Amino acid sequence: MDTAPAVGGGRGGAGVEEQQEVAELPQLLLFAPPSPPFLGLLAKSFRLLKPWEEESMSTQQFLTTQAQSVRALACIGLFQIDSEILRCLPSLQLVVATSVGVDHVDLAECRRRGIAVTNAGPSFAEDCADLAVGLLLDVLRRISAADRYVRQGLWPIKGDFPLGSKLGGKRVGIIGLGNIGSEVAKRLEAFGCNISYNSRKKKPSVAFPFYSNVHDLAANSDVLILSGALTKETYHIIDRDVLLAMGEKGVIINVGRGALIDEKELVRCLVKGEIGGAGLDVYENEPDVPKELLVLDNVVLSPHKAALTPESIAASGKMAVANLEAFFAGKPLLSPVKDE
């Protein structure tokens, strides 16, 4: 938006023109402050409604008094967009999520109302895949544990550190072969791993072996990597039986959502040595992490940051703006969340 004063106009005239230009921009509702660069992108094209700035009223009061005509909502991070919020927005037609997973959005209510939902698409795929492979390498080669061993001065006292395990040649089962899972597979193929996968449907263009049953995939894998979405169908898709099917040397990596795994059973299996190790970026009750995991040398923990780098955050912001601009221009959305 050009904010320079009009030729021959005074400061006051320019202010009126600027206000008129802002008023003509489409409204966009935000529920949490975005990063300054993202906020700058949004402010260029949209008139932003920011409930958190209105200290004199509750969010519900704000929505019912100032957001009744809002057609688009940008969901920053994992802010919960539930049915109660949606009921307060009778004109809403689009929810733009800045994340890949949308389990924090009431998709059923959106479908019922005909509200379109978009996500970050492939914005985070490469960086998330990088960390998934990093976690796997760390667990197998015991990098973090070896680092602690050296820092604690145990090498000259206890001697050589126990050997880790080779990545090349491992049978890796990927649960959720979407943008992230496909990038994981690409990276692990370069290491010489044998890839197979589980997904809602077999992908005709994918040559990897497909398992419709997660238990069977686990029984034929040395490693399971979770990169799929959390839905009613995938909640605790990794239960005790699946974990035990991997065997005592099996390793599980989760960069999807914490509740894909029955966390209590995972802790129990790790403590008892019934599986070989885990690399976890996500947990069932974030930011709380089971204390039993904190003392296990065969577990590597990350604070839900797999997807986040300055580059990926910038890409997701651009994707969100592109989806919004497409919506208001009556063009196809770039990364729509499809019905399950």
Task: Determine the pLDDT at residue 301.
Answer: 98
Minimal CA–CA distance to 306: which of 119, 103, 133, 175?
133
104 is catalytic: no
236 is catalytic: no
The rounded distance, in Å, linking the Cα atoms of 240 and 149 is: 31
Whether omega for the bond prior to residue 33 falls within 30 degrees of 0, making it cis, is no
From 53, 84, 248, 286, the catalytic residue:
286
Whether 11-123+310-328 and 125-301 share one fold: the answer is yes
pLDDT > 70? residue 92: yes
Task: Determine the pLDDT at residue 55.
Answer: 87
CATH of domain 125-301: 3.40.50.720
Q: Are 282 and 254 in contact (CB under 8 A)?
A: yes
- N- to C-terminal Cα separation, the chain: 39
Task: Determine the pLDDT at residue 91.
Answer: 98
Residue whose pair of structure tokens reads 């895949």 in the numeric block: 129
The sign of the dihedral angle between the CA atoms of 27, 28, 31, 33 is: negative
Q: So where are the chain's domains? A: 11-123+310-328, 125-301
pLDDT > 90? residue 224: yes
Q: Are 101 and 316 in contact (CB under 8 A)?
A: no
Task: Determine the pLDDT at residue 22.
Answer: 54
Q: Are 266 and 224 in contact (CB under 8 A)?
A: no
Pick the CATH number of 11-123+310-328 from 3.60.70.12, 3.40.50.720, 3.40.50.300, 3.30.2350.10: 3.40.50.720
Task: Determine the pLDDT at residue 24.
Answer: 83
From 126, 142, 215, 257, the catalytic residue:
257
pLDDT digits over 107-158, tens only? 999 999 999 999 999 999 999 999 999 999 999 999 999 999 999 999 999 9
pLDDT digits over 147-183, tens only? 999 999 999 999 999 999 999 999 999 999 999 999 9
Rg (alpha carbons) of the chain, rounded to whole number = 24
pLDDT > 80? residue 17: no
From 111, 200, 236, 304, the catalytic residue:
304
pLDDT > 50? residue 8: no
pTM of the model: 0.88
pLDDT digits over 180-195, tens only? 999 999 999 999 999 9
Give the number of other Cβ atoms within 10 Å of residue 133's Cβ.
24
DSSP, residue by residue, 187-212: HHHHTT-EEEEE-SS--TT--S-B-S
Q: Are 246 and 274 in contact (CB under 8 A)?
A: no
Mean pLDDT for the stretch of residues 243-263: 98
257 is catalytic: yes
The band of 338, judged by pLDDT with boundaries at 50, 70 and 90, is: confident
The band of 21, judged by pLDDT with boundaries at 50, 70 and 90, is: low
Q: Are 94 and 324 in contact (CB under 8 A)?
A: yes
Task: Determine the pLDDT at residue 23.
Answer: 60
